[in-house]
Amino acid sequence: MIELTLLSGKPFLINPHQIETAEAKPDTTLHLLSGKTIVVKESIPEFLAKIVAYRRSIGVLSDTP
């Protein structure tokens, strides 16, 4: 799970495997596989950094080939 922040300032956890697309509109808007849309405070680069860190923590990404 990664922690993101709603525009209201409320933090929440989300499973990044449920995110289908993300776009800046200008706020970062996440489209989930369920069809739900969530707008968050984090920028696209911040959002991507959280996903990369999460995937490294579960062993999906590594720094070595």
Q: What is the pLDDT of residues 15-32, one digit of tens each?
A: 999 999 999 999 999 999
pLDDT at 64: 55
| Cα 28 to Cα 44: distance, rounded to the nearest angstrom | 6
Average pLDDT, the chain: 93
Domain locations in the chain as residue ranges: 2-57
Question: What's the whole-model pTM score?
Answer: 0.86
Percent of the chain with pLDDT over 90: 86
Q: What is the pLDDT of residues 36-58, one digit of tens each?
A: 999 999 999 999 999 999 999 98
